[in-house]
Amino acid sequence: MPIFFDVVITGIGAGVLYGLVGLAFVLVLKTTNVVNFFQGDTCAFGAYFTVIFATLLHLSLPLAVAAAIVCSIGLTVLLELVGLRPMYRVSIIQVVIGTVALSMIMRYLIRLCWGPQVVPFPDLFKDIPLNITGVPLGSATLWMMIIATLSVAGFAIFFQYTRWGIALRACCQDRSSASLMGIPVGAMMSLAWGLSGAMGAIVGIAGAHMISVYPDMGIIGLKGFVASILGGANSIPGAVVGGILLGVLENLSGFYISFAFRDLIAFIIMIGVLVIKPSGLLGKQVVRKV
Amino acid sequence: MAAGYMKKAIPGIVFFLFLTTMPFWGFSARETIAAEPVKIGFHASVTKIAVEMGQAALGAQMAAEEINAAGGILGRPIDLIIYDDQCTPSLAAAAAHRMLEKDNVFVATGGTCSGCAIAAGPILNDEKVPYFAAAVLSPVVSVPLKKYVFQIPFTSDAEAPVLLEFARKTYGPKTVAILQRGGAYGKSVTDAIVKFLPDFPEMKLLTVVDYPETATDFSSHLLKLKSLNPNVVFTAGTLVADGIPILRQAAGLNYKPNWVCDLGIADDHVRQEVKKAMDGIYCAWGMAGSDWDTSQNQTILNYRKKFREKFKPTDPMEPSQTPGWGYTAIYFIKYLVEKVGGFDREKIVAEAEKVTDWAGPGLMVRLTYSPSKHYHGNLFVKHYLPDGWEEALQRTPSGDWKVIDKAKRY
């Protein structure tokens, strides 16, 4: 029993990471109808920018993290503006394909600038340790859980109660009508991409301690995508719930069935959800009047 | 009068000598200027995973530069052609084909991932081009025997008994487990441990936990090990990219087994990256260039000095790990060519077959593995101590492990 508890708890730890990436997927999807396949790479932006500011420019760690998040937001918005925005006129499929291309380009650029090797990452949580007796989770994972909870609450409030959040939702439902109502659609889209960049950077920074910093670290984006499908592609809490569920199922299947099965489970779940309940666990079926 | 005659004759004699010797001048000049370079193919994982092993290419370049500056091999400069195989067997195979069809290399070397050497070796062997796998441990590279394929470092079959022997002396384990990375290298280390385990009847293998090369989350693997609680956990094929998260995640799970790692993780790079995560663990160590027992050799000292100046390695104890393999390979090829007195592949292969241990300019080659030679003199164990210290241990003839060197690594 204690080992089962350990497996579930550590699965939650990994799942929170997937959930936060999934949340960033949902943010973009909810507001622009685009599945952003370079979401995982925004995690790499955050981690690499932190390394630049903390170890090369010798900023204090909190300042380095803040600067890294700001730079990641800027870079994500810039990439969307330059690389994707012109494609919206053609079709959403074009934009989605564009995100795949951007992902590849960013990975190669990182490789070009930093080389392919693992880059040392500062010990983020050494000054603010957080340990709970009996819980087999490191300080970093516990902090991730706090960040996830705050993020879900924050975004829920943002979308439900703020003018900008409501404007973003309006843009998603009907961009033309939103524009006619005086909502600056372009700025709103940049805001959505910026928020996803911020989310990715936070995951990258917090996760780098555990999964290392290297050009292909954005591969975690795939798990985040599955988490968002599992939880409901238009549900913010659903993404986090989906991520946690995915992490736990992965860990249980790896532990009790086969390690080879562990990575397979994510994609089996994704296919299963798409077939049985396409709207995901907490997502709502979108009905369009025609 | 005679003197006057001679005086008049001197210009004629000089002119005659000039005319008669000119062809020889021409030949020798042409030979010096236009000596055809000897093409040596080299493939390594210069990018992507196992890039730290790809540093062997740096060592190879350094050796080629040194040899060329000293007049080349039998007067011919080395043209080193490096391919990045990205630790991907299909790319290594493509590189081997290119070396044969486009470059027409005289010999080939390199190989920093076992799977790549396994892919490239037979292609070169079929075309009768000698191939010296520079930095791979899987015995599958050269077994079953291929006439033109050689392995420069020791194989996993030599490493595994050292790991087992060290574990027995240090921890006296009753139970052991293996954490294996996917791919040919990890499999070769696991196979070798399993093969030699019957020689250590007091140790029982509880499980082999394997993970794919792309894994980033090791929690279920580590929990499996934690639940079985073996006295010792061997890592097999674990490299830098996966070694860091494994050690950090194990610490996060409050799981601190007695790690005995194979040398994949014991790289310059790792020590800088993980620092404290490595504290307390033991890793196999020792390859071309890391022979403390011959460290008084002036050529070794010169090599280490040159290497430090050129590449500024991070390891305070050993400057030569993986680059040393590449360096050794090129010098070994030079040795073979000079030994047979020409660029004859068949003679070179015949000569290489005779070599078991070879001490080149500062480095050692162990070409032939034999079951009677499990305990190679140049296999060591490194112990990573707190506060950045590390110590090297060597097995003594009595079977004990003795500290032979100690240094601060960060």
Q: Which domains does chain A have, with CATH numbers?
A: 2-122+133-276 (1.10.3470)
CB contact (8 A) between residue A116 and residue B248: no
Overall average pLDDT of the A216-231 stretch: 87
The residue that leads in pLDDT, B132 or B406, is B132
Q: What confidence score (pLDDT) does residue B298 get?
A: 55
Q: What is the CATH number of domain B157-286+379-408?
A: 3.40.50.2300
Q: Is the pLDDT of residue B29 over 60?
A: no
How near does any CA of chain B get to the CA of A246, in Å?
13
Among chain B residues, CA nearest to A257:
B220
Please state, in angstroms and as integers, the Cα–Cα distance from residue A217 to each residue in A44, A102, A119, B118, B216, following that order. 6, 15, 11, 28, 9
Among chain B residues, CA nearest to A218:
B216
CA atoms of A156 and A238, how far apart (whole Å): 11
CB contact (8 A) between residue B248 and residue A209: yes
Overall average pLDDT of the B109-129 stretch: 91
Please identify among residues 85-124 of chain A the ones whose CB lies closer than 8 Å to any CB of chain B.
111, 115-118, 120
Q: Is the pLDDT of residue B97 over 80?
A: yes
Q: Does B52 touch chain A (CB under 8 A)?
A: yes
State the count of interchain CB pairs (< 8 A) between A and B: 93
Q: Which of A60-64, B30-34, B192-196, B251-255 has the lowest mean pLDDT?
A: B30-34
pLDDT digits (tens, 9 = 90+) for B333-381: 998 999 999 999 999 988 888 776 665 544 445 444 333 333 344 566 7
Nearest alpha carbon to residue A33 among A169, A182, A223, A220: A169
User: Can you read off the two tokens belonging to residue A36?
Assistant: 């952003």
Q: Does A40 touch chain B (CB under 8 A)?
A: no
Give the class (CATH, top level) of B38-154+292-370: alpha beta
pLDDT digits (tens, 9 = 90+) for A74-87: 999 999 999 888 88
Q: What confidence score (pLDDT) does residue B375 get?
A: 36
CA atoms of A190 and A80, how far apart (whole Å): 8
Give pTM, 2 decimals: 0.73
CA atoms of B221 and A149, how far apart (whole Å): 27
CA atoms of B401 and B396, how far apart (whole Å): 6
The alpha carbon torsion through A225, A227, A233, A236 (nearest 10 deg) reads -120
CA atoms of A55 and A44, how far apart (whole Å): 16
Q: Which of A43-52, A213-222, B400-409 has the lowest mean pLDDT?
A: B400-409
How near does any CA of chain B get to the CA of A16, in Å?
12
Going by pLDDT thresholds of 50, 70 and 90, the confidence category of residue A29 is: confident
How near does any CA of chain B get to the CA of A175, in Å?
39
Going by pLDDT thresholds of 50, 70 and 90, the confidence category of residue B268 is: low
Please provide residue B310's backbone torsions phi and psi, each rounded to the nearest 5 degrees.
-80, -45
Tell me which chain B residues have a C-beta less than 8 angstroms from the C-beta of A118.
240-241, 244, 269, 273
Please state, in angstroms and as integers, the Cα–Cα distance from residue B114 to each residue in B142, B182, B380, following that order. 11, 12, 21
The answer to whether the bond into B144 is cis (omega within 30° of 0) is yes
Q: Is the pLDDT of residue B267 over 70?
A: no
Highest mean pLDDT among A46-60, A117-131, A134-148, B282-296: A46-60
ipTM summary value: 0.73
The residue that leads in pLDDT, A259 or B333, is B333
CB contact (8 A) between residue B51 and residue A117: yes
